[in-house]
Amino acid sequence: MSRDTQHVLLVLVGGVLVKIVLDGSYLRYVRPWSAVPVLAAGFVLIAVAVVAIVRDLRGRTAADGHDHGHDDRAGPSAWMLVLPVLALLLVVPPALGSAAVGGVGARAAPVAAVADDPVPAGEAPVLGLLDVVSRTAADPFGPLTSRDVTVVGFLVPARHPPAGAAPVDLARLVITCCAADASTVRIHLADPAGQMRETGPGGDGGDRWVAVRGRVVAGTGGAADGHVPTLAVTSWSPVATPEPVYEY
């Protein structure tokens, strides 16, 4: 790879970083606070490439065509940078979803700090799935067992569901820093009315995102059941993929 090609590739890498921040697709890979450092890294790479190009042009003029015997070509491994650039420019990888949960092999996300904040006011307020798991882990007989809440997530095959539960769980991926450390939180769905009996997880067409309204079954969500609470379903409806797709 010649130096000119290296400079162009550096500009492309920096340009891709700028692009994914400006179009919001960076949220498929990292947390929202990463926008500034990713954008800054993109501009720095572009600036380095421009400085290197100007320096090389001046060097060639000063050399006046004489060969000084320097080999500035990079090895074949430098071409590996082309692959992620092409992937982000031509085929933007989607955010992780139900395929990353991995069924029985999915690892549970660590329980967040004890949720001492009161449940938001209103009829069936929307709570994050991690928030529900955290609250029930702190108190399996807490306020979520006495009032309805609404939780958004994608459907996955149920793992060790209790008796009477739907064949699917509601799940969400949680990231600490980036998609590489994504872990899963899920809740079982008690379905006494059989509303979700024939409802399955998403298939080849993508994840099946739903909003589920219900009330946590008292005594569930503690350490005995792996911090997987059970939500008694009152109603549910399909929803569009949320943005951001992860919880934090």
The four Cα atoms 229, 235, 238, 240 give a dihedral, to 10 degrees, of: -70
pLDDT at 206: 77
pLDDT at 105: 38
Q: Which domains does the chain carry?
A: 3-90 (no CATH), 98-238 (2.40.50)
- For residues 156 and 102, give the distance between their C-alpha atoms in angstroms, rounded to a whole number: 9
Q: What is the pLDDT along the chain (248 residues), one digit of tens a residue?
A: 577 777 788 888 888 889 889 988 888 888 888 899 999 998 998 999 888 888 877 776 666 555 554 455 555 555 666 666 666 666 667 788 887 786 433 445 455 555 567 888 989 999 999 999 999 988 899 999 999 999 999 999 988 888 888 889 999 999 888 888 888 899 999 988 888 887 888 766 678 999 999 999 999 998 888 889 999 999 999 999 998 899 98
Q: Is 0.75 topped by the overall pTM?
A: yes
- Alpha-helical regions (H) of the chain: 3-22, 35-63, 82-90, 129-138
Neighbours of 45 (CB within 10 A): 20
Query: CB–CB of 164/182 below 8 Å?
Result: no
